[in-house]
Chains A and B, each alone.
Chain A
Amino acid sequence: MAVERKVPAIIDKPMNFCPGCGHGIIIRLIGECLTELGQDQNVIYAIGVGCSSNLGGGLEADRLHCCHGRAAAVATGMKRVNKENIVLTYQGDGDAYCIGIAESLNAAYRNENITVITINNTNFGMTGGQMSVTTMEGQKTSTSKLGRNCDVTGFPMKFPEMVASQFNVAYAARGSVDKPQNIIKLKAYIKNAIEAQMNGEGYSIVEVLSPCPINWGMTPSQSMEHIRDVVMPYFPIGVLKERGEKA
């Protein structure tokens, strides 16, 4: 049966992302999943600081702009008192994995029944492209001018792998927006993550590899190729923990 595709009502406003940015695709997918699951009038967003903040201005939904890095803690408070609502965090890699690593890890550790969406564009986008914990080895950023030296800055952090292997989480996956086939897969990951929360299975996370053409110094299409050629080999996409695997 043919299904009408339309912009989900809760995100039908312009947002201020750069040309070629991946955020818009991901926000749209989340909106579509919520609508298809009948949850678009039953959702609270805990929004991070950084490029993810742009979501707040465009949403017609309950949302709180959290302190930098603390979205997983804020979402914990929301979900514990509003168990019937879907609670989503929407953050970037700098927010969730650098300044917010304690809040992010501990929410996964407690297996909070929330859904975490983290946009990994391998740098701090909003503040002008500084190095993040996900910055690739050798990647030039405004705080790693000669390319990231992992001997002194550490290697790119694989957060979903950490929580999938070490903690008793419900669902973990990594997707990408580099091409339509992967966008379709990504949508399935996001839907699974929200369904896991709806069923009370516990913590679900989807990390999304997303382009940052402005700070990468690339065209939008070069950025997509960069994801495929450089980022994805280190950050493989796919389901890292299937639903039902949890102990």
Chain B
Amino acid sequence: MAKKMMKGNVAIAEAAVRYGVRFYAGYPITPSSEIMEYLSWRLDEVGGAFVQAESELSGVNMVIGAASCGVRALTASSGPGISLKQEGVSTLCDEELSAVVINMVRYGNGLGTLYSSQTDYLRETRGGGQGDYRCIVLCPYSIQEAVDMLGLAYDLAEKYRVVTVFMAEGALGQMMEPVELPDFIETKKNYWGFDGKYSYKKIGIFDRDSMKEAVALREKYAAICENEQRWEDEGIEDADYVFVSYGLTGRSTLGAARELREEGYKVGHIRPITAWPFPHKAFAKINPNVKGIITVEANATGQLIEDVALATKKAMENNVPTYALPYVYGIPAIKDIKEDFVKIANGQVREAY
């Protein structure tokens, strides 16, 4: 199929339909609204259902209802809207129901702003709601990768019966790129879906054994960590410094790393595709004599750095310093990343860990 110029949110919404999504419920919020605008008419064309909910809270609970019937269900939002959905995300995980939640991340605390950013890294990778669970977190760096990965998002959610969070920066939803859409898959209902006949038995809520469930939960998450780490790396085997960054910020950082290479600096780059499970395995390939690991992030305080510091501690023997370059919001410019890298190389920046 020929590539077509498409806006990120629209391409993602059409890809959702092609990957078998047949239910959407949500509430408008910039910069994710085009997803629901598109699905408001598109799902009807393929026999699916769309509800504009009175709140994000209600929207995610509608998703719970559809997911409990075994249908591929989707909701999308940003910032404060994703906060409201956390009650439902925790419940989906508790009930072992599969769904995908798209977070088109915008900057700021509270009401926040409309700027594209990566401020929700820690929230998304640590579960987000009450309790003790994890969501698989995918972070695309192009519209094409987002479109390709949405099917994987559902496949993983259904394989492990978890929620997959699709964590993209707001700019990815708003920008346009040439994209090739996936083919339509045949829709199916998951075997655990309600049919009114009680075909799939459930344990009564007061008969559940939390001790046994905890063992199963740990095994499930361990399997995800072992099997589902995804990343791309470049030039890390001989690197003096390795950048780690994801999403559009990762794309910009990759550009900076390549230019720095050409200028004679031995730098490499790791781009996590799964933020959870974090790609610890990538760090095993890093030059054992590396001088530092650097995160490039679009947030205020540095969040990715925490996972990077842990991964560095695990993979490296000689207390390699880790540095955070938080550019607050937007997509950091290659020029700025390069300038700040030189400061790190010259010892002018204090390590984070």
- A residues sitting closer than 8 Å to B (CB atoms) are 10, 16, 41-44, 46, 53-54, 56-67, 70, 73-82, 84-86, 102-103, 106, 110
A42→B25 CA distance, assembly (Å): 24
CA distance A83 to B172 in the complex (A): 36
**A106 contacts B65, CB within 8 Å?**
no
Choose from B62, B196, B205 the contact partner of A44 (Cβ within 8 Å).
B196
Once the chains bind, are B195 and A81 in contact (CB under 8 Å)? no
Q: Is there contact, CB below 8 Å, between B73 and A70?
A: no
Task: Report B's interface with A, CB cutoff 8 A.
Answer: 22-23, 25, 49, 51, 53-55, 57-59, 61-69, 71, 73, 87-88, 91, 95, 194-198, 200, 202, 204-207
Contact of A85 among B53, B196, B205 (CB under 8 A): B196
- Total inter-chain residue pairs, C-beta < 8 Å: 125
Assembly CA distance A63 to B207 (angstroms): 15
Task: Report Cα–Cα, A86/B23, bound state, in Å.
Answer: 19
Greatest chain A CB density within 10 A among B62, B65, B207 is at B65
**Cβ–Cβ contact B195 & A85, under 8 A:** yes
Q: List 27 A-B contacts (CB under 8 A).
A: A41-B198, A42-B196, A44-B69, A44-B194, A53-B205, A56-B205, A63-B202, A64-B64, A66-B61, A67-B87, A73-B58, A77-B25, A77-B64, A78-B66, A78-B69, A80-B62, A80-B66, A81-B23, A82-B195, A82-B196, A85-B196, A102-B54, A102-B57, A103-B54, A103-B57, A103-B61, A106-B54
A64 touches B22 (CB 8 A): no
Across the interface, do A61 and B65 meet the contact criterion of CB distance under 8 Å? no
A62: chain B residues within 8 A (beta carbon): 194-198, 200
- Report B-chain residues with C-beta under 8 Å of the C-beta of A75: 65
4 closest residue pairs by CB, A with B: A77-B65, A57-B204, A77-B62, A73-B61
Q: What residue in chain B is nearest A114 (Cβ atoms)? A: B65
Instruction: Identify which of B51, B57, B196, B198 contacts A60 (C-beta below 8 A).
Output: B198
